[in-house]
Structure 1
Amino acid sequence: MEERSTWLNIFNMDSLNEVILEVNWIVTVFVIFMISVLAGGTVVNVLQSIAPKWFLQLVHYGKMGERYNKVWYMTILEVPKKWFVHFYIFGSCLITVLNVLLWQRLSQGKPGTHWISTCLDYLTTPKRVSAVDATSIVVANILFTLHMYRRLYENLFVSKSSSATMNAVLYIVGYVHYIGVLVTLLSADPSLNNTDQLPSFTPLSTNIWIGIVIFIAAIIFQHDSLRRLASLRKVCPGTEDGTKKSIYSMPVGGGFEWVSCPHMLAEIFVYVSLLFILSGHTGWMVVTAWVVVNQVNIAILNHQWYKETFKDYPLKRQAIIPFLI
């Protein structure tokens, strides 16, 4: 009877609530994403010849997926690749709201909002400990806000859309990514754990300056790469707009002289720059690791597509990291 009561207690609401609060769900989700990408990348890169078509259609999106005969039931789950812009609309709106709340907290000394602290407790555990000061938090949020607004601008006015598609699973992952990233940024504020603790600002440290320099270099490099990509896409004869079908050319110049995906390398450095600024924040280390794994995997898939599509593709060019990968 006592044993039965013990088992029943596991399922009561208080015990369940305690279990939920013990887990950092944002970190857990990103770790699951990393494992999934590593496993999926291994299957595609090593066992592509025997991998099921539905799996290849799931992993390959955009121009990479156009070379396969699509499985009809996977096609039902596809959405336009140009919906990538939705991530940046959503992320820009969300980070704007969070910045307003953060500004009230850090600059005006207003007590932390209870519902924010509660959400962070459930998403990142109440035991979150951060060695990040208020100055670093403000700088990191300003930089990432600029990154979000810039990516939104590039998706609206620089990149050229096509008829390419992606699986709805990847579309959902995009939203989860930006929610997780912005929650992680917010959780870096240690004062949210204590509504009576007022933020203290310090002069910009060496780490912050290093992060700012890396960030500026990364966004300039990424913008240049995206403009080069956009200039290569041509409309096929017979189509009246650029959304139906495109002709792809081999990218050259800039970072493309060294790697196939310099824009993805730049994306990695954007997150690495904030790693310097938010030094000591475990959550951001996990976010950065996830971004590195994901961008490297996508870059390798793109690199393979380039080599298969362009027979004169430069042999010296790597996928994402010069002389290495």
Structure 2
Amino acid sequence: MNFMVLIFSFLTTTIIILGSLINVIENKLPPFFIKIFKYGKFAYEGEVSKIASKFVVEVPKSWFKHFYLLALLIYAYIFYLVTYCYIYKYDAPGWFINFLRVICGENRIPYTSATKTYIAVVLMTLQVIRRFYDTHFVSVFGKNSRMNLSQYLIGLVHYPACALAIVCEAPKFTTESLSTTSTTFDIASITYVNIFAILLFIWAWWHQHTTTKILANLRRNKKSNQIETILLSHWWYQKTFDKFPKNRKALIPFMY
């Protein structure tokens, strides 16, 4: 059984269903569901029944830092492993292969090359390093800002699961091998598509950091890139500020 497929399928399905329900019929949903999904300035501000409140466990939003501390440790080791295997041409440790057997299942074959795997790990490691820096040294978390425990647990699982998902079907990390699959990093095999993807990542990587600094400075002066966050922010501004333009679009100019 491939637990990586189960984890990401469950998370994706849950986010799509809950997000869609909140976007369309939020006023008809039990506060319990809203409180699970929304936090920060989007958090539900109404009353929750005593029974439901027992299941709504919240933690400080500043615990975001824990996601990237854990991720930094894991990606440092994964980066070491792929460098050890693809650059220095050694085999992956037996214990790690056995661990992947448990997490990702048996009879796995490589679906990508060593070069693409190495690029993915390097980029994700850079992302984790920067997010660790942002959350520990740039972001300013509100003292009373909280998030649901379920969101915290999902955050702890997300980055480690991404790391395992990258290598579980990569050369030298599978239970079976293909003679046509490259098992070492080859810079000559990097395509223009790969280069474009790397440059696009770096552009987004830097702009996310810039946005984090801007938001942190606004909070200090008392003054996500994700569709759901864009929509929630847009609706929050419409609800909070009477003079916010009613015809302003959130996602697609002049349309939506």
TM-score bracket for this pair, using the shorter chain length: 0.7 to 0.9
Judge conservation of contact 1:95–1:182 (CA < 8 Å) in 2. yes
Q: Secondary structure at the match of 1:112?
A: coil
Deviation at 1:135, TM superposition (A): 1.6
Q: Classify 1:232/1:133 alpha carbon distance in 2 versus 1 (closer, same or farther; 3 Å).
A: same
Distance in structure 2 (CA, Å) of the matches to 1:200 and 1:98: 16
Which amino acid in the other structure matches residue 226 of structure 1? T
2:134 is matched with 154
1:48 maps to 2:26: yes
Aligned counterparts of 1:213 and 1:323: Cα–Cα separation in 2: 29
Asked if residue 318 in structure 1 is aligned to residue 236 in structure 2, the reply is no
Task: Provide the rounded CA distance (Å) in 2 between the counterparts of 1:234 and 1:105.
Answer: 45
Are 1:216 and 2:148 counterparts?
A: no
Distance 1:300 1:207 in 2: 31
The alignment status of 1:38 with 2:6, answered yes or no, reads no
| Unaligned 5+ runs, structure 1 | 1-22, 236-246, 250-263, 266-294
CA 46–63 in structure 1, closer or farther in 2 if over 3 Å, else same? same
In the alignment, the residues of structure 1 paired with residue 255 and residue 80 of structure 2 have an alpha-carbon distance, to the nearest angstrom, of: 42
Is the counterpart of residue 169 in structure 1 residue 150 in structure 2?
Answer: yes
Residue 200 of structure 1 pairs with residue 132 of structure 2:
no
Partner of 1:184: 165
Please tell me the residue identity of whatever aligns with 1:233.
R
Q: For the structure 1 residues 167 and 71, does the alpha-carbon distance in structure 2 shift closer, same or farther, using more than 3 Å as the test?
A: farther
State the match for 1:297 in structure 2: 228
How many correspondences in the alignment? 247
The alpha-carbon deviation at position 69 of structure 1 amounts to 3.5
Hey, what's the Cα distance between the residues in 1 that align with 2:174 and 2:116? 17
Distance 1:212 1:71 in 2: 49
Q: 1:171, CA displacement in angstroms?
A: 0.4
Q: Counterpart of 1:232?
A: 218
Residue 140 of structure 1: aligned partner: 120
Q: CA deviation at 1:316?
A: 2.9
Any unmatched runs of 5+ in structure 2?
A: none
Deviates more, 1:160-169 or 1:44-53: 44-53
The answer for the alignment partner of 1:239 in structure 2 is none
Q: How does 1:16-31 map to 2 (within 5 A)?
A: 23-31=1-9
Structure with larger Rg: 1
Shift of 1:45: 1.9
Q: Distance in 1 between matches of 2:133 and 2:157?
A: 21
Task: List aligned pairs for 1:114-129, cutoff 5 A.
Answer: 114-129=94-109
Alignment of 1:279-298 (within 5 A): 295-298=226-229
TM-superposed CA distance for 1:224, in Å, is: 1.9
Once the two structures are TM-superposed, the CA of residue 215 in structure 1 deviates from its matched residue by 0.6
Structure 1 outlier segments of 4+, above 4 Å: 194-198, 321-325
Percent of matched pairs sharing the same residue = 27
**Aligned equivalents of 1:180 and 1:322: distance in 2?**
35
By how many angstroms is 1:165 displaced? Answer: 0.4
Task: Find the counterpart in structure 2 of residue 58 from structure 1.
Answer: 36
**1:130 Cα offset (Å):** 2.9
Q: Kindly provide the amino acid, as one letter, of the partner of residue 149 in structure 2.
A: A
Matched letter for residue 228 of structure 2: N
Residue aligning to 2:93: 113
Q: Tell whether the 8 Å contact from 2:31 to 2:44 is kept in structure 1 after alignment.
A: no
CA–CA separation in structure 2 for the residues paired with 1:82 and 1:126:
39
Q: Say which SS state the counterpart of residue 166 (structure 1) adopts.
A: strand
Letter in 2 for 1:318: A
Q: CA separation in 1, counterparts of 2:243 and 2:208?
A: 25
**Structure 1 residue 127: Cα displacement:** 3.0
